[in-house]
């Protein structure tokens, strides 16, 4: 495993992390045994960065991690998030008020069975919250108390990331970045790198699409609460599959799978410290970890960037 410094936090993180949204059933049903096998495999492979949120399964993912890491908390750089809701009547709503964040942070610590988290991220804050939110004072107090070591944001829009870097509260930014979504590399990554803000890239496999394993027939299985029911709805899915076909040229020589190439692509950007693919089980975790052994050539990286700029982006 390769390790990089996560911006000004100084934390040495494995370039491959583990995203745990899948473990809370947001990608269809899961068994705890499978989730635990993914977590065990991650630690065996030298993965030391695990990302979760109180929103995943309304705390389910954190509870599972709390049990799994009980006797090995010191082996892991643990990142969680607060302020967003993904389950129940408030689904899709965010709340970054001081009282809410104070409460949900304590609940997260309890579920995670730990006194502190290494990174506490606001989960999808808008520019207003990033620039003027009173919540930052609370987070600063919690940092002084030792409940959290570093602060970050997980963002959706580029302007949110830019605001976070400029405002200066955030030690890290978490953002979607993959071969089909390269916008952060345009302005956000250079800005973050200059400010020494750590970059965590999420959804590196575009929810499994960039493993190259999906066909049109898969669309039928994405139902109900599966996040892919929305992100791969209607015509979008066929268009995304066509783009994936145009990336298959990367699987040659030392590159044995598109999943490997997709993860190596993220790590090919020097601003990126860690990519956090979700892994449903030990097998997926093992394959994702091999992405760290692959280095795409500058020519291949240029071709992927050109495809995005000229065709994928539209």
Smallest distance, Å, CB 115 to ligand NAP? Answer: 22
Contact 56, 112 (CB under 8 A): no
Out of 184, 280, 282, 304, the only residue in the binding site for ligand NAP (CB under 6 A) is 280
Query: What backbone torsions phi and psi does residue 189 show, to the nearest 5 degrees?
Result: -60, -45
Query: What backbone torsions phi and psi does residue 99 show, to the nearest 5 degrees?
Result: -65, -40
Out of 48, 154, 219, 269, the only residue in the binding site for ligand NAP (CB under 6 A) is 154
Nearer to ligand NAP, 244 or 259 (CB): 259
- Which of the stretches 109-117, 188-196, 199-207, 240-248 binds ligand NAP when contact is defined by CB under 6 A? 199-207
Is residue 20 a contact residue for ligand NAP (CB under 6 A)? yes
Smallest distance, Å, CB 144 to ligand NAP? Answer: 25
Give the 3-state secondary structure of residue 278.
strand
Smallest distance, Å, CB 174 to ligand NAP? Answer: 6
Query: What backbone torsions phi and psi does residue 249 show, to the nearest 5 degrees?
Result: -60, -20
Site for ligand NAP in 228-257 (CB under 6 A): none
Strand partners, 242: none
Is residue 27 a contact residue for ligand NAP (CB under 6 A)? yes
Strand partners, 275: 16, 201
Shortest-Cβ-distance residue relative to ligand NAP:
19
Nearest to 274 by CA among 88, 50, 92, 97: 50
Out of 14, 16, 45, 51, the only residue in the binding site for ligand NAP (CB under 6 A) is 51
d(CA 267, CA 265): 5
Active-site residue set:
56
Q: Specify the DSSP class assigned to residue 195.
A: T
CA 9 to chain centre: 17
Out of 112, 274, 277, 289, the only residue in the binding site for ligand NAP (CB under 6 A) is 277
The residue whose two tokens read 């790198």 is 193
Out of 111, 142, 147, 202, the only residue in the binding site for ligand NAP (CB under 6 A) is 202
d(CA 116, CA 106): 10
- Which of the stretches 20-28, 102-110, 131-139, 181-189 binds ligand NAP when contact is defined by CB under 6 A? 20-28
* Count of residues near ligand NAP by CB under 6 A: 30
Is residue 22 a contact residue for ligand NAP (CB under 6 A)? yes
d(CA 147, CA 131): 23
Q: Which two tokens stand for residue 271?
A: 């601003």
Smallest distance, Å, CB 289 to ligand NAP? Answer: 9
Contact 42, 72 (CB under 8 A): no
Smallest distance, Å, CB 23 to ligand NAP? Answer: 8
Is residue 211 a contact residue for ligand NAP (CB under 6 A)? yes
Is residue 6 a contact residue for ligand NAP (CB under 6 A)? no
Q: Which two tokens stand for residue 17?
A: 């992390």
Contact 248, 211 (CB under 8 A): no
Is residue 279 a contact residue for ligand NAP (CB under 6 A)? yes
Is residue 287 a contact residue for ligand NAP (CB under 6 A)? yes
d(CA 239, CA 227): 18
Site for ligand NAP in 106-135 (CB under 6 A): 123-124
The residue whose two tokens read 């580029």 is 158
Out of 103, 194, 213, 248, the only residue in the binding site for ligand NAP (CB under 6 A) is 213
Return residues touching ligand NAP (CB under 6 A): 19-22, 27-28, 51, 81, 123-124, 154, 174, 202-208, 211, 213, 259, 276-280, 284, 287-288
């Amino acid at each position: 495993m390769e390790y990089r410094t996560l911006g000004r936090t100084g934390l040495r993180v494995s370039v491959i992390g583990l995203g745990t949204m899948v473990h809370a059933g947001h990608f269809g049903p899961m068994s705890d045994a499978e989730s635990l096998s993914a977590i065990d495999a991650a630690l065996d492979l030298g993965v030391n960065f695990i990302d979760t949120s109180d929103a995943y399964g309304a705390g389910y993912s954190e509870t599972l991690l709390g049990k799994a890491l009980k006797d090995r908390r010191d082996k892991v750089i643990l990142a969680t998030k607060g302020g967003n809701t993904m389950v129940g009547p408030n689904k899709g709503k965010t709340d970054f008020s001081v009282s809410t964040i104070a409460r949900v942070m304590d609940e997260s610590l309890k579920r995670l069975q730990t006194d502190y988290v290494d990174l506490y991220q606001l989960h999808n804050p808008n520019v207003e919250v990033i620039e003027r939110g009173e919540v930052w004072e609370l987070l600063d107090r919690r940092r002084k108390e030792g409940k959290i070591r570093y602060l970050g944001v997980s963002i959706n829009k580029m302007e949110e990331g830019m605001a976070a870097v400029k405002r200066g509260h955030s030690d890290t930014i978490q953002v979607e970045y993959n071969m089909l979504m390269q916008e952060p590399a345009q302005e956000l990554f250079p800005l973050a790198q200059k400010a020494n803000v750590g970059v965590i890239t999420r959804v590196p496999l575009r929810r499994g699409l960039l493993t190259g394993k999906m066909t049109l027939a898969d669309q039928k299985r994405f139902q109900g609460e599966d996040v892919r029911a929305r992100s791969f709805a209607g015509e979008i899915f066929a268009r995304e599959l066509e783009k994936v076909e145009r990336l298959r040229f990367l699987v040659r020589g030392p590159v044995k799978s598109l999943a490997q190439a997709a993860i190596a692509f993220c790590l090919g950007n020097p601003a990126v410290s860690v990519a956090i693919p979700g892994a449903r089980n030990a097998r997926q975790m093992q394959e994702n970890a091999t992405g760290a052994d692959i280095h795409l050539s500058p020519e291949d990286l240029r071709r992927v960037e050109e495809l995005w700029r000229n065709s994928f982006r539209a």
